[in-house]
Amino acid sequence: MQSRKKWYALVAVCLGFFMGLLDVTVVNVALPTIQTSFNSTFSQLQWIINAYTLIFAAILFLISKLGDLIGRKVVFIASLTIFSIFSLACSLAPNIWLLIIFRGCQGIGGAGMLSLSMSIIADTFDGKTRGLAIGIWGSVAGLSTALGPLIGGILLSFFSWESIFLVNLPIGVIALVMSAMFIPKSKTFNQGKVDFLGMILSFAFMFCIILGLIQKETHYNYGWLDWHVATLLISGVILIIIFIWLENKVASPMLNLALFKNRQVVGSAISNLTLGMAIYALFSYIIVLSQDYMGYSALQSGAQLMIISAFSLFLGPVSGKIASRINPGYIISGVLVLAGFGMFVLPAFLGNHNQWFVLIPTFITLGLANSMVNPLSSNIAVSAVDAPEIGMTSGLLNVGKQFGASLGLVILGIAMTSSYNYHLAHSFLPAKLTQVMQNAGPFSGSAIASKIKHFNIEAITHNAFFRGMDNVAITSGIIFMIAGVLCYFLLCKGQRLFQKSEY
């Protein structure tokens, strides 16, 4: 296809990709307004986020496979349409339960836009232009995640909460028109029978595991052996075992398990899992720290996160050129280790400060990791597999990222809550008051403390949360360090980024 049309196709793909990722975080800042509008409970508010995340993550493998079977362009356009329609439905929802249902349906479209975007780029570009295109795509990924709170804050400052969904409509229409005009018709890889049972099992095990983690995340009093959590996680593990057994038996598997023998694919998947666990899951805690404990507005806290996304804007598009001179494995493992150091120094800077500038050193290292890992790992993975496996590979990387975000929320939540509760228990608060604050949890602690008449409860709660953030930072740093070491051994002895770029 003509060179200009390729870049128009990239714009179309990135618009859809941007919307899908933006909606993961943009809704966070609107939750208090939605709660007031519908007089909803905290649990219902959490499901506005979780309904989208759950369906989004659980359906990624299925959507990727459908793209291979009937064409990536067709499924991408269908996903754009679904996302836009249910964005409108969310803005018109008359009650909280319909809003939650519409958010889940919106997640179907979001999953399609995310999982197929990288496959379409790999179909459309080759050689060094693919590295540049995926670099731009990676920049959009970093920007959309960090811009969510800022865009949400701006919209809420001037409009109602419905605006965070309505803003998707003009973007969706433009993306649909451009997709139909410029995205080339993709090849299909549907030889043999369709693995319908594998599709069902892949959705089922992802659904059970993600829902189990959400149960653990949203109910801090549930232990890992609580039946609400354990039943789902054990069911997910059993379904994974059945899925693996089935995929080794069928002629045309849903997921080619041979991908896990490819060191570059596995290393890229680990790096994406790490981004989800240690960066995207961390955003929720940073937003609460900034707004509830430092006293900044939603707009101000969103603007602060722009430091992280700014690196994606400048480094993403040139990451391919950098990697043509340096083995990208060294870059990925290096920036992951650097991000680990950035998290380790956060407790020393944070203390009990109420000024956000103490977060800047950590934001810089996170920005470097977010801007470099995403495009480089994606390009490494798609360059290491044959054309029929690009869709599977793309789905694997994106599942890793979304699963990592859900897993990270639980792991970081445990780190936060254990430290928060410990410091409350060892304070000078009366036992009953300590129990009240522990039941409220770290996210609601500041608001509850401000309503209780006790001479130093706000200072005690403030200190407990900050010590919890120390624990979150150390836990995140350990995750980065482990991933950096693993990626060094998996990626640094592999092929160079552009060594295999033609099919």
Parse the chain into domains and list their residue ranges.
Answer: 1-191, 192-251, 259-503
pLDDT at 458: 82
The answer, yes or no, to whether residue 27 has pLDDT greater than 90, is no
Q: What is the mean pLDDT of the chain?
A: 82
Element (H, E) at 216: helix 196-218
Tens digit of each residue's pLDDT (9 = 90 or more) over 357-395: 889 999 999 988 888 888 888 878 877 887 777 777 877
The segment with the largest mean pLDDT, out of 299-313, 362-376, 428-442, is 362-376
What distance separates the 2 farthest-apart alpha carbons in the chain? Answer: 73
The answer, yes or no, to whether residue 227 has pLDDT greater than 70, is yes
The answer, yes or no, to whether residue 320 has pLDDT greater than 70, is no
Say yes or no: do domains 1-191 and 259-503 share a fold.
Answer: yes
How would residue 496 be classed by pLDDT, with cut points 50, 70 and 90? Answer: very low
Instruction: Name, in order, each residue with C-beta under 8 angstroms of 367's C-beta and a sequence gap of 6 or more.
Output: 142, 307, 308, 309, 310, 311, 312
- Which architecture characterizes domain 1-191 according to CATH? Up-down Bundle (1.20)
Residue pair 143/313 in contact (Cβ under 8 Å)? The answer is yes
**74 three-state secondary structure:** helix
Of the candidates 404, 176, 94, the one whose C-alpha atom is nearest the C-alpha of residue 269 is 404
For 468-493, what is the mean pLDDT?
92
pLDDT at 191: 55
Class of domain 259-503: mainly alpha
Statement: the pTM of the whole predicted model exceeds 0.75: yes
What is the phi-psi region of residue 249: left when phi exceeds 0, alpha when psi lies from -120 to 50, beta otherwise?
alpha
For 78-90, what is the mean pLDDT?
94
Tens digit of each residue's pLDDT (9 = 90 or more) over 324-356: 677 888 999 999 999 999 999 999 998 888 888
The 3-state secondary structure of 437-478, one letter per residue: HHHHCHHHHHHHHCCCCCCCHHHHHHHHHHHHHHHHHHHHHH
pLDDT at 502: 38
For residues 5 and 11, give the distance between their C-alpha atoms in angstroms, rounded to a whole number.
Answer: 10
How would residue 499 be classed by pLDDT, with cut points 50, 70 and 90? Answer: very low
The answer, yes or no, to whether residue 305 has pLDDT greater than 60, is yes
pLDDT at 217: 67
